[in-house]
Amino acid sequence: MSVSRFGAMALVSLALSGCGTYVPNIQENPFATEAERNAFIQAIFRSIRCEVQGTVLRIYSENSPIDPHNRNLQWFDGWAAQMAVTLTTNEKGELNPTGTWLPSKIFSLAASLDASAEAQRVDKLGAFFLVSELRRYQLCRAEDRNRGPFILSDLKLYDWLKPSIIAMNLGDFPPPGDKSGPSGSNVLSHQVQFVIRTAALVTPMWILTHATVNKSGTLLSASRERTQSMTITFGPPDSNWAEYVINPVTAQQVIDPVTKQPLIQPTVLAPAAANAAFSSELSNDIANSLRNSVQP
């Protein structure tokens, strides 16, 4: 075996032996710098925010030529969006050397060792946006959207939200009712999940005069599963939960130019939409737990 091949095998073995014994990195590259890890996470959040923001702006821009005053979207003006992102990383490493000792032609002794370690990391982020607030923003730069595979790709939110809104406006199903009711009214939700699995193993074998080492076993193995989930729930906000709007520069309350009173805005979805968002997140957590529990 050449020195280069031996070095490559040693490097792979070293990487495999550590899987499951430390907190996993979200990024695939185990040698990424802190700045690269930060940039990767920021890119995920920015891409999802741009997806929501761009979808809302596109719906209104395409509707304006038909209805310049957006009267058929007045009900949507008062809605809000709850965004939930869950990044789950699960790593497992296993050491399983086997050996057979052959002291004579009529006697043999087999032995094996099996040791494994598993580590899981779950990161969550939630954000709340008013549709009226999203409309005031500008479209994100092209380089901030659809930058790569999985959760960084086009999440198809527009493909779901646009026809759903049209169906509401055409009366294909009941339009939003009175959001001041006990549970608010109506909800539109979009959930996307990516599950990415990778695995690697090292199986060297030695045949000696009176022994065979690792003839049928896997010396080192490692697996890594990443689950990237996003749920975006649109619905009416709950007016019972609101707070003053604070200017981030002056740290002072923002004054409504019309009423001359401090501006107040809701901070959570109405119960019906909030329950739908919670149910989606809960079912996602249960599915992840079940998936990890049955992994080989």
Q: Report the pLDDT value the prediction gives residue 14, as an integer from 0 to 100.
A: 44
Could you tell me if residue 280 is inside a domain?
A: no
Residue recorded with tokens 């019972």: 240
Distance CA 208, CA 206 (A): 6
Could you tell me if residue 167 is inside a domain?
A: yes
Strand partners, 192: 230
Q: Report the pLDDT value the prediction gives residue 59, as an integer from 0 to 100.
A: 92
pLDDT, tens only, 226-265:
888 889 999 888 888 888 888 777 888 888 787 888 888 8
Question: What's CA 66's distance to the chain center, in Å?
Answer: 36
Could you tell me if residue 193 is inside a domain?
A: yes
Could you tell me if residue 68 is inside a domain?
A: yes
Q: Is the pLDDT of residue 182 over 70?
A: no
**If DSSP codes are grouped into helix, strand and coil, which group holds residue 174?**
coil
Could you tell me if residue 264 is inside a domain?
A: no
Helix (H) or strand (E) holding 214: none
Q: Report the pLDDT value the prediction gives residue 18, as an integer from 0 to 100.
A: 60
Q: Is the pLDDT of residue 290 over 60?
A: yes
Question: What's CA 92's distance to the chain center, in Å?
Answer: 20
Average pLDDT along the chain: 79
Q: Is the pLDDT of residue 183 over 60?
A: no
Distance CA 141, CA 90 (A): 33
Q: Which domain holds residue 30?
A: 3-236
What does DSSP say about strands 242-244 and 206-207: parallel, antiparallel, or unpaired?
A: unpaired
Q: Report the pLDDT value the prediction gives residue 10, as an integer from 0 to 100.
A: 43
Phi-psi sector, 9: left (phi>0), alpha (psi -120 to 50), beta: alpha
Q: What average pLDDT does this structure show over 100-107?
A: 76
Distance CA 48, CA 271 (A): 24
Q: Report the pLDDT value the prediction gives residue 91, as an integer from 0 to 100.
A: 87
Distance CA 124, CA 82 (A): 13
Q: What average pLDDT does this structure show over 139-165?
A: 82
Could you tell me if residue 291 is inside a domain?
A: no
Could you tell me if residue 262 is inside a domain?
A: no
Q: Report the pLDDT value the prediction gives residue 7, as an integer from 0 to 100.
A: 43
**Number of domains the chain is built from:** 1
Q: Report the pLDDT value the prediction gives residue 82, as an integer from 0 to 100.
A: 92
